[in-house]
Every structure is written in C-alpha cells, then in structure tokens.
Amino acid sequence: MSSGNMTLEEVRSKAKGKLKGVCMVYKDCDGNPTRFCQGQHYGRPLGFGGIGSGASFHNNWLALRKKKLKMKLVETHFEPDTSFQFFGKELSMPIMGASVTGVNSFGGENVISEREFCQMTVRGCIAAGTIAWRGDTYTYSLENSYGLDAIKEANSGGVKIVKPREQSVIIDFFKKAEEYGVTAVGVDTDGCGSYMMTKHNKPVFKKTSDDIRDLVDSTALPVIIKGIMCVEDGLEAVDAGASAIVVSNHGGRVLDHTPGTADVLPEIVEALKDRKAMIIADGGIRTGYDVLKMLALGANAVLIGRDIVRAAVGGGSEGVRLQMDYLRETLKKGMKMTGCPSLEEISPEILVQ
C-alpha cells in the first residue's frame, strides 16, 4: 500500500529507528519470549512487551496463528463488502484503532507527544474510513484529556475509554465525552491491573455489576466494557446494561499467563448469543487475515493497538491510514478467498480444524 512516496514498509522502518531501545518493529510481532521487548523486567518500564514472562502477549499471537482458513473458490466472482455499522455510524471496515494511550505507556514520549499521538491516530483512522478509540493513562485528567480533544477537533465521533477510576471521575469523563460528540464511552476494567497507573499512584478499582449499571445509567451513550476474558464477566457486564464488550487481556500487559483472546472468544460469544450486545475483540491481530479469524470466531469487530503506535511514530496520520488500509485490503482478500461476500456471511465454517 502506498500514497505518494510513502509506503507502509517505509513507515515501519522509520518507526524502528525512532523507537530504538523500545521496540524493534519486527516483521512478525509475536510476543515470543526471545523478543527484545519481552521477558521479566526488573526496575525497567514495561515498554511494548507483556507483563512478567510475556506469556499472555505471546498467547494472543499463538491463539490466532493456530487458526487456519478454508480456501473456497469455485463460485460466482464477487468483490467483498467490508462496511460496518457501529452504533449508527457507517465505517469502511469492522476494524478500529484501539484505546491505547501510546507514548506514556510504551516509552516513546521522547519521539512523539501524547497530544500528537492522539491527533495522528484519530486523523489517520478517519482517512481510512473508520474511527479511533481513545484511552486514559496517568497523565490524563478532565483538563488534559488529549484523546477527547483529538476526537472533538476532528469531529470524528470516536470512542472514549476511561480507566476504572472512582465512579464520579468516570462519570465526569462520560459527560465531557458527550459534549465532545463521541459515538460511545466505556471502561477498560482490565485497567485495574495497570502498571502505569499503579506506578504513578493513580487509584484504579475492580468494578461490580452495580458499578457498571450506575455508569450505564449516567449517560445516554452506549457503554462498552473492555477487558472481558471469561463468560461470567461477559454476562455480568451485558446484564448490567453494557451495549458492547471487548474480549481483551489488555495486550497481555496486566496479568501473566492468560489464554489468548481468540481462545476464549468462542465460549463468550456462545454464552451471549441471546443478548443483543456487540462483541469486539483485540490481541495479536496483525493482518486482515487475523481480523477474518476473529470475525469467524464470533466477534463483530476488532481493535488494533501496537501496530497503530508504530504507524503513528513512523508516519504520523498518513502512517496510521496506511496501516488501516492494509488491514482492510487483506481482510477483503481473505473474504474473497474464503467465499464471504459480506461480513454477515463470515462464520466458523471458514475455519479448518
């Protein structure tokens, strides 16, 4: 994929140079224990890797890698339709920028500012016909909420995700998000294990179903609960009024030795099949073929995290656009080669056991 003189390969090459000592921008970001960013870190920032041994990050990649696609070609030719409805907003694909806060969490603050990162991510996703979710970290406050500012400036209708702070603080963020024209709001419950929030003495809490219900009642916007890794939590969140859940282990950054998200996704989908909640997934997704696998396992849409950080660092908003376009084009290719003209026709049948 290219535009003008820039290609995605060049974007990643530039990111590798700028992220020296933080991320090697490997061709295959698999979270393998031998990778530069992985392994136990004693007194060193978490960086791009996973917590502890990095097993959870690696398991996300492994869970998707072991899924295989069934090639089906003898039929009438078609061009796949990847368009997706997200709470009334028409997107070009079921792929959105994840709520990763980027530079503060990953050690790239000397390369790109948090404000710039948010602006580049939001603008790049818009240029690709989709939206960015914006998150929360220890430097954020109601007065300094760079992600919300970027969404407002671009008039993009993105998503605001808040760490599981005190209820009153979350509700204040939700109210500001409403004023800024977001499409949905949410809480990443897995953020109760946030390394950065704990390190900087920013209190975060586990949330009960009553807490979730209070948050749902506080806003007219759809509420998303992120960080679901078991059936019980999925049912609790949806029954408390959540409009969507995100099956996620926070990129393997909050608890060592969890399964990969693609491993737990099917049972969560099955348990929620009679509910009307949207199911979104992240973790280990690197190509549109990975997106296709997640959709075949039952997800309605996916989020992209680490690759968006690298794209923004290496190519700004244009780098993000190139990354998202690459994902959409490889998703289309995968749909064509597995006999899926539309998203609705993607099913577990395209996976080979």
At 245-289, the pLDDT tens digits run 999 999 999 999 999 999 999 999 999 999 999 999 999 999 999
- Report the C-alpha gap between 338 and 69 in whole angstroms: 7
Percent of the chain with pLDDT over 90: 81
For 41-70, what is each residue's pLDDT tens digit? 676 777 788 899 999 999 999 999 999 999
What is the longest distance spanned by two Cα atoms in the chain? Answer: 59
Instruction: Work out the angle at residue 193's Cα, subtended by the Cα atoms of residues 188 and 199, and round it to the nearest 5 degrees.
Output: 115
Distances 59 to 221, 254, 348 between C-alpha atoms, Å: 33, 14, 21
Q: What residues contact 29, with CB distance under 8 A and at least 6 apart? A: 61, 286, 306, 307
Residues 157, 285, 139, 204: is their CA dihedral positive or negative?
A: positive
336 contacts: CB under 8 Å, gap ≥ 6 = 78, 79, 80
* Confidence tier at 19 by pLDDT (50, 70, 90): confident
Q: What are the tens digits of pLDDT across the range 304-317?
A: 999 999 999 999 99
| DSSP structural state of residue 180 | T
Nearest to 83 by CA among 337, 328, 350: 328
pLDDT at res. 41: 66
Phi/psi of residue 45, nearest 5 degrees: -55, 150
Sign of CA dihedral 51, 57, 58, 63: positive
Cβ atoms 38, 51 nearer than 8 A: no
Per-residue pLDDT tens for 201-223? 999 999 999 999 999 999 999 99
How many residues does the structure list for the chain?
353
What's the one-letter identity of residue 196?
A: M
The secondary structure element, H or E, covering residue 91 is strand 89-91
pLDDT at 2 over 50: no
Q: How confident is the model at residue 1 (pLDDT cuts 50, 70, 90)?
A: very low
Q: What is the pLDDT of residues 287-344, one digit of tens each?
A: 999 999 999 999 999 999 999 999 999 999 999 999 999 999 999 999 999 999 999 9
Q: What is the DSSP letter of 342?
A: B
Residue owning tokens 């992600």: 147
Q: Say what the alpha-carbon torsion angle 314, 317, 323, 324 is, to the nearest 10 degrees.
A: 160
Please return the burial class of 334, using the count of CB atoms within 10 Å of its CB with bins 0-12, 13-18 and 19+.
buried
What is residue 248's DSSP assignment?
-
Domains and CATH numbers, the chain: 84-346 (3.20.20.70)
